[in-house]
Structure 1
Amino acid sequence: MRPTSPALVGALALTTAAAVLPLAASAPAAADGVIIGGQPVTVGDSPWVVAVASRGLFGDSRSGQYCGAVVVGRTKVVTAAHCMSREVLGMEGSSVPDLKVIAGRSDLGGDAGREIKVRKVAVNPDYDTATNAGDVAVLTLAQALPAGHVLPMAGKGSSAYEPGTEATVYGWGDTTGNSTYASRLHSANVRVLEDGVCEEAYPGTLDGRYEADSMVCAGRPGGGHDACQGDSGGPLVAHGRVIGLVSWGSGCGEAGRPGVYTRISSFADFVDEA
């Protein structure tokens, strides 16, 4: 679900195969892809899922999408900090002249919905590229989206974070872990896991270190369902709230290598004030 090399652009994919997600703190996931162990969905059913794109940097294929994001306010979108990094873009996100958010487009090969210019980029100043902690950025849009596109953020102490909770991750990323990128939005059903599962899987490696206060561990015990390259920044949703953002991990859908998500409730103040 995460990038392991700077060439990969923090985006994950939802696929059914036991693929590996290459999204690491040190390197974002690939610029495009779908979800491991997932199925196609439409933005009509999940209008708060949007794509982050730059045609100038990533071409017209798939509308220039390279990361995912979620609408948390009519002019406010939240994504992964590494999606705005120089390692991914070759420049700071705020310097990309055609940075846009695409709303209402299930198939990135089409022209449905709207491409809205990003007016302001705010990257969490405490984002740690060594551990991947604090992997969150806020994009302010030049035009407002309908109120129905907004998905509330889970608060601290929300029952949605309890281990065993069923959750859904969304993205346009790699669907097999082998650079099989689809243009249609996908989702995959995962489960919130005990922090200890990710603490054991990621005690501190080149990929990053799991820190329970700012991260969420999710997947399936046997693997097979996960985010992957091209899904970075996309939402993890449970109980009608966004609880996490696709951040990093090792491989895509591998047993014993769950996905690691930014715990959005830990950054509510930053998001509100950005």
Structure 2
Amino acid sequence: MRRPLNRRLRAAAVLIAAAVAAPLAVPSPAAADGVVIGGSPVQVSDSPWAVALASRDRFGGTRAGQFCGGAVVAPTIVLTAAHCLSMEVLGAPLETVDDLHVIAGRNDLKAAGGREVAVRDVWVNEEYDSFTNAGDLAILTLDKPLPADHVIPMAPAGDRAYDAGTAARVYGWGDTTGQGDYARSLRAARVRVLSDAACEAAYPGNADGTYLRGVMLCAGEMEGGRDACQGDSGGPLVARGRLIGLVSWGSGCGQAGSPGVYTRISEVVARFTAP
């Protein structure tokens, strides 16, 4: 049974519902300009809904404090992963992090430009299960709105973007090799949505997590080579011009037989648009 929304979450839920009811025009595909794992650089101007979650106090200024990613689904609402805001990742309680912000419209994290917008409020899914990794969702409410063209439509249940075999892209500023080589500029990797059966076979339940159809999806190449990695968590998985997933977990980065697992956006849409 769904728990009632608390007061802090209601405004975010209204904005998410509005975004689903009246989606914006489908964004154009991001354009690669050269060589995440197996990915290529892309222009953030072609994918402005991909934002960096940052805190210089916690992660220093080398890469503007970036530590996770997020997806803009309404001018003041960013979706990201619950585990990004955990003590394990932040190294401190969330309530003590005073400079949490998102970086939007900046391709190179060490450059100027774009926007740095403070996070006014945070909702972390209290049903997030760090053992199975189910419910890996957090909602950030921004202090100031981003432009309307930064918003990406979310794919509801039944959308063909979730079909197995669908071409998709995952975006982030994370590790590009699995060896701690973090990107300064936004990258994207081409992956394919995999069937629930393939995902369940890859993750039947072990120390890494358990694949649960309905609330998760996985994407990649079963032979490995293309995947999200550390630092990409919370970032967008996009197919057919719509947001279908948030980077959540997996076994290693780009390993054969271990595709990336994502929080399924159709479940988020259902949760926040239900009567």
2:92 and 2:247 map into 1 onto residues whose CA distance is: 22
* Alignment-derived partner of residue 137 in structure 1: 138
TM alignment of 1:128-207, pairs within 5 A: 128-207=129-208
Secondary structure at the aligned position of 1:196 is classed as: helix
What does 1:22-61 align with in structure 2 at a 5 Å threshold?
Answer: 35-61=36-62
After superposition, the CA RMSD in angstroms is 1.4
Q: Counterpart of 2:128 in 1: which secondary structure?
A: coil
Structure 1 runs not aligned, ≥5 long: 1-33
Q: Which runs of 4+ in 1 moved over 6 A?
A: none
Indicate the residue corresponding to 1:217 in structure 2: 218
Tell me by how many angstroms 1:122 deviates: 0.4
Q: How many percent identity over aligned positions?
A: 62
Measured against aligned partners, the alpha-carbon deviations of 1:176-206 in whole angstroms (never above 9, x if no partner) come to 1111112010000000001111211111111
Aligned AA for 2:255? E
Q: Larger radius of gyration, structure 1 or 2?
A: 2
**Amino acid in structure 1 at the alignment position of 2:238:** V
Inter-CA distance 115–242: structure 2 relative to 1 (3 Å threshold): same
List per-residue Cα deviations over 1:232-272 (Å, max 9, x = no partner): 00000001110000000001111100000000110125556
Count residues in correspondence.
240
Q: For residues 272 and 56 of structure 1, what CA distance do their matches in structure 2 show?
A: 36
Whole-Å Cα distance in 1 between the matches of residues 102 and 142 of structure 2?
A: 8
Partners of 2:272 and 2:88 lie apart in 1 by 23
Structure 2 gaps of 5+ residues are 1-34
Give the TM-score of the pair, scaled to structure 1: 0.85
Structure 1 letter corresponding to 2:263? T
The structure with the greater share of residues assigned to helix is: 2
Query: Using CA pairs below 8 Å that are at least 6 residues apart, which structure has the higher relative contact order?
Result: 1
TM-score, scaled to structure 2: 0.85
Residue 129 of structure 1, CA deviation:
0.7
**Whole-angstrom distance in 2 between the partners of 1:269 and 1:197:** 24
Find the aligned partners of 1:193 and 1:223 in 2 and give their Cα distance. 13
Aligned to 1:84: 85
| Deviation (angstroms), 1:111 | 1.6
